[in-house]
Amino acid sequence: MDKTINVTLKVWRQRGPKAKGAFETYKLNGVSTDSSFLEMMDQLNEQLISERKEPVVFDHDCREGICGMCSLYINGHPHGPDEDITTCQLHMRKFKDGDTITIEPWRSHGFPVIRDLMVDRSAFDKIIQAGGYVSVNTGGAPDANAIPISKEKADLAMDAASCIGCGACVAACKNGSAMLFVSAKVSQLALLPQGKVEAARRAKAMVAKMDELGFGNCTNTGACEAECPKNVSISNIARLNREFLCAKLKD
């Protein structure tokens, strides 16, 4: 039941944002195929600590695929070769004995490396702060059932809202574009009557912030959607374009 494999890891190590990084190669034996990828990384770190070396730094938290903290560009794919999951849900049974696994941080101008595999994704927070909300204060909200919302729209909004803000879309995009992330939030709120009121303002503000922060331009390659662990659709990007262009035309 408990099968183990031996793997070779090529891990990106970098002291700080300005330091020069390089790959280090580590051999790791006896990895259970039932382990998750991050448990394998824990095992690597335990091995490094036992050799009195500094462990590899990587972001992780909930380990159940929802917090969006884990990242890692594994063998050419953000969140690794398996589909519809984050790195923490990737399991070692997807790898074979003797495999070499290359592990890199998200690489994008918008996400500078902090150390090793950890990157700074605060740009996403800044984009949300620019307008990714409904301007409503606590208290005084009307009854939740006061405005009926069609199930279809609510479901579409939910699909867009399932974005976990991990940044895999930016990491996967050859243009380093954050359009899928931005469009998911704009779509979620534009689809709902509560968010529709300030949809135009929101779309303009969020796109302006996205551009300002140096994310690239979307060229509709669809890599973001293909690598998104939550299957957020690029149709949201079309909706964002629509919202944005209509808002600009009205000006």
* CB 83, min distance to another protein, A: 8
* Residue among 73 and 98 whose Cβ is closer to another protein: 73
* CB 122, min distance to another protein, A: 7
Cα-Cα-Cα-Cα dihedral sign, residues 83, 88, 91, 95: positive
Residue 34 binds another protein (CB under 8 A): yes
116/17 Cα distance (integer angstroms) = 9
* Residue among 98 and 150 whose Cβ is closer to another protein: 150
* CB 199, min distance to another protein, A: 11
**Residues that contact another protein, how many (by CB under 8 A):** 132
Contact predicate 117/12, CB 8 Å: yes
Residues 120-139 that bind another protein (CB under 8 A): 120-122, 124-125, 128-139
Residue 19 binds another protein (CB under 8 A): no
SS3 168: helix
Residue 97 binds another protein (CB under 8 A): no
Contact predicate 210/142, CB 8 Å: no
Binding flags for another protein, 55-84, as an x/- string (CB under 8 A) = x-x-xxxxxxxxxxx---x-xxx----xxx
* Residue among 98 and 221 whose Cβ is closer to another protein: 221
Residue 89 binds another protein (CB under 8 A): yes
202/153 Cα distance (integer angstroms) = 19
* Angstrom distances, CA of residue 47 to CA of 12, 13, 27, 42, 50: 17, 16, 10, 9, 5
Binding flags for another protein, 158-197, as an x/- string (CB under 8 A) = x--xx-xx------x-xxxx-x--------xx--x-xx--
| Exposed / middle / buried, residue 3 (Cβ in 10 Å: 0-12, 13-18, 19+) | exposed
Contact predicate 40/31, CB 8 Å: yes
* CB 72, min distance to another protein, A: 12
Residue 18 binds another protein (CB under 8 A): no
